[in-house]
């Protein structure tokens, strides 16, 4: 599913690295930030702003590698690769990503 979010800086407070998500957690991609050599291929695979994704498996220990579903396809990513993907976590019933809702007011005062 592609949702249209207002454009935002990828390092907005509240964004996480995809590698920090637990199994079963869902998020929406905000952008890419990290090792330049990884970014083009991550884009090719569909990790672009607005795409929803879900973590379906994590290896012990440390979630390296992990399995992510995005755009109907499933990929295995190492921790360092997932760390280059910045996301906002989405809770099941939220219309708006949880962290934006929670930190909406504090961001204004930052």
Partner 1 sequence: MDAPVASKPLRVALVGVPNCGKTALFNRLTGSRQKVANYPGVTVERREGERATADGRGLRVLDLPGTYGLTPTTLDEAITRDVLLGRLADTPVPDVVVCVVDAVHLPIGLRLALEVKRLGLPMILALNRMDMARRRGVSIDMERLAAELGTPVVPTVAVKRGGADQLVALLERAGPAPNRTVSAPAWHETTAEDAEQMQSDLRGLLAVAGYGPPRENPWFGRLDAVLLHPVSGLLLLALVLFVIFQAVFSWAAAPMDWIDASMASAGEWVLTHMPEGPLSSLLAHGVIAGAGAVLVFLPQIIILFFFILVLEDSGYLPRAAYLLDRLMGWVGLSGRAFIPLLSSHACAIPGIMATRTIPNWRDRLRVIMIAPLMTCSARLPVYSLLIAALIPRQDVGPFNLQGLVMFGLYAAGIVSALLVAYVMKHIAGSRQYSPLMLELPDFQWPHAGNLLLGLWERVKIFLSRVGGIILALMIVLWFLASYPEPPPEFTGPAIQYSYAGRLGALLQHVFAPLGFNWQISIALVPGLAAREVAVGALGTVYALSAASDDDVASKLEPLIAAEWSLATGCALLAWYVFAPQCLSTLAVVKRETNSWKYPLIMAGYLFALAYIAAFITFRVVNTWS
CA dihedral 16, 18, 20, 23 (to 10 degrees): 130
Instruction: Report if residue 25 touches partner 1, rule: CB under 8 A.
Output: no
Least separation in angstroms between CB 72 and partner 1:
5
Least separation in angstroms between CB 106 and partner 1:
30
CB 57 within 8 A of CB 66: yes
Among residues 13, 22, 43, 107, the one that binds partner 1 under rule CB under 8 A:
43
Exposure string of 57-69, with b = 16+ CB inside 10 Å and e = fewer, is ebeeeebbbbbbe
The tokens for 53 are: 């994704």
Instruction: Report if residue 26 touches partner 1, rule: CB under 8 A.
Output: no
The residues binding partner 1 (CB under 8 A) are 1-2, 35, 37-38, 40-46, 48, 56-60, 64-65, 67, 71-78, 80-81
């Amino acid at each position: 599913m592609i949702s249209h979010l207002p454009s935002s800086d990828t390092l907005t407070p509240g964004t996480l690295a995809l590698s920090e998500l637990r199994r079963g957690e869902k998020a929406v991609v905000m952008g890419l930030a990290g090792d330049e050599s990884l970014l083009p291929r991550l884009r090719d695979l569909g990790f672009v702003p607005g795409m929803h994704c879900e973590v379906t498996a994590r290896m012990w220990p440390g979630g390296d590698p992990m399995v992510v579903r995005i755009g109907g396809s499933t990929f295995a990513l190492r921790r360092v690769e997932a760390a280059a993907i910045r996301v906002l976590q989405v809770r099941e019933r939220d219309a708006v990503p949880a962290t934006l809702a929670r930190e909406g007011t504090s961001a204004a005062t930052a």
